[in-house]
Amino acid sequence: MDSAYPKNSTTEAIAAIRSFLGERLSTATPVRESHGKDQTWNEGFPPDAVAFVKSTEEVQKIVQVCAKTQTPVIAYGTGTSLEGHFTAPHGGICVDLSNMNAVLEVNAEDLDCRVQAGVTRKQLNTYLRDQGLFFPIDPGADASLGGMAATRASGTNAVRYGTMKENVLGLTVVLANGEVIRTGTRARKSSAGYDLTRLMVGSEGTLGIITEVALKLHGIPESIAAGVCTFPTTEACCRTTIETIQTGIPVARIELVDAENIKALNAYSKLSLTVAPTLFVEFHGTEAWTREQAERFSEIAAGHGSGAFNWVTKEEDRLKLWQARHDSFWASKTMMKGKTDALSTDVCVPISRLAECVEETRRDLEEHGIYGPMIGHVGDGNFHVAMFCDLDDAEEVKRIKLAYDRLIDRALAMGGTCTGEHGIGAGKRRYLEKEHGVAALETMRAIKKAIDPLNILNPGKNAAP
């Protein structure tokens, strides 16, 4: 136990929580370990116990116990976050919300819903399908919506539909003092008071534990067209993206897959895609409007030297196309015999700087002998690099971490951010000051201290000490 927390506080907390959770509080080693390590290179730290909760009231009671005993308390959804968000470096109680998985209400007329935090995005979309509605935010994993709100998640549809920041209407949050607040209303907009919703979104469990999420929904488009288009250079992909967006084409997805990734995809998925920088795109709308968007995009792409742009509208064909895009990480992984670990990261820059940022990164990786295929949500200026390595090879890991640092510095120098969607967690804490400056980081810390003075909520993550 870290010296910042009183000795035996966790033991006391476990006893108190067990009195009302019974068997649903587990101290079994495999359970603790699976809740203390994500699938990335970030170091794992198991919590002392895992509480499988069923209601906001239970979370409230747990936080009250943890506040009284000064015990760390860490929220856990599906465990799919990528920056060590839910590890327990100071021990404490992990609150697993995955059983809080009820869809509480769907208001079809208002295009909104309210769900418990453990509902996953795919579960929600299955639930909504019959009503002609969908929720667009799609990080790769089938994450919980509470976790997605907590990490300000995003995905391929953000260019059209925004991120969790734009799509959360309100939250139920258990605060560090054990109070429960409900932020936001069902109104689409409000100028009443400080925006606690947006403060909680992206705070990664350090300012409160999200137990319910109210979300904006969207009508399933009448028509969807998707296609793939190759380009002579990454630059041409980016130029095409900029012009597409500037022209006002409301592209729903526009994803860059670099040549390295295409090579890997061909091998992995037995495809015969042209090995070249490629854009995967999708348009939503009425049939006529979707066609018009695709045609306009096709003209813009041709102006930048693209190959032919053919699009498909049948669901089966579209899904096949996007499956390839989604497989790219696994495909890349199979290319690297013996180097199956990856330091995965993402940055986001103004789109005018994207081509430059991607190219400089590619050169940098090449120069340092690093295999690092890139894919990007280029409409947002956001791209991912997976730097494959052998984590047991200390020299290689060191070399990669330096490239990783240079990547962040490059993105920040271009007016970008150290993470577009993965978040800060434990892994990117050292960049917070670099990005925001001392005074802004101190402001974040002052807020944290004001509403969690004992620092019990997910200590050691994001701006939390």
Strand bridging mode 133-134 / 218-219 = antiparallel
Q: Which two tokens stand for residue 194?
A: 């400080």
Angle at 204 between CA 201 and CA 208, to 5 degrees: 75
What is the nearest approach in angstroms of a second copy to the Cβ of residue 179? Answer: 4
Answer whether 233's CB lies under 8 Å from 182's CB. Answer: no
- Give 68 or 182: the residue with its C-beta nearer to a second copy: 182
What is the nearest approach in angstroms of a second copy to the Cβ of residue 453? Answer: 9
Q: How far is it between the farthest Cα atoms of the chain?
A: 68
- Give 133 or 403: the residue with its C-beta nearer to a second copy: 133
- Give 22 or 193: the residue with its C-beta nearer to a second copy: 193
What is the nearest approach in angstroms of a second copy to the Cβ of residue 241? Answer: 10
CA distance 250 to 252: 6
CA distance 372 to 8: 45
- Give 152 or 325: the residue with its C-beta nearer to a second copy: 152
151: left (phi over 0), alpha (psi -120 to 50) or beta: alpha
Strands (E), 77-220: 93-96, 103-107, 112-116, 133-134, 168-174, 180-183, 209-216, 218-219
Strand bridging mode 93-96 / 49-52 = parallel
What is the nearest approach in angstroms of a second copy to the Cβ of residue 371? Answer: 26
Q: Which two tokens stand for residue 200?
A: 């909680």
CA distance 93 to 280: 43
**Strand partners for 26:** 50
Decide: helix, strand or coil at residue 304: coil
Answer whether 190's CB lies under 8 Å from 197's CB. Answer: no
What is the nearest approach in angstroms of a second copy to the Cβ of residue 159? Answer: 8
Strands (E), 349-409: 374-377, 382-389
Residue with tokens 């495809």: 271
What is the nearest approach in angstroms of a second copy to the Cβ of residue 131? Answer: 10
What is the nearest approach in angstroms of a second copy to the Cβ of residue 285? Answer: 7
- Give 49 or 242: the residue with its C-beta nearer to a second copy: 242
What is the nearest approach in angstroms of a second copy to the Cβ of residue 103? Answer: 17
What is the nearest approach in angstroms of a second copy to the Cβ of residue 353? Answer: 8
- Give 302 or 441: the residue with its C-beta nearer to a second copy: 441
- Give 90 or 448: the residue with its C-beta nearer to a second copy: 448
Q: How many CA atoms does the CB half-sphere of 212 hold within 13 Å?
A: 21
What is the nearest approach in angstroms of a second copy to the Cβ of residue 301? Answer: 17
- Give 190 or 334: the residue with its C-beta nearer to a second copy: 190
Answer whether 58's CB lies under 8 Å from 65's CB. Answer: no
- Give 101 or 462: the residue with its C-beta nearer to a second copy: 462
- Give 21 or 214: the residue with its C-beta nearer to a second copy: 214
Nearest to 90 by CA among 205, 1, 218: 1
CA distance 209 to 55: 12
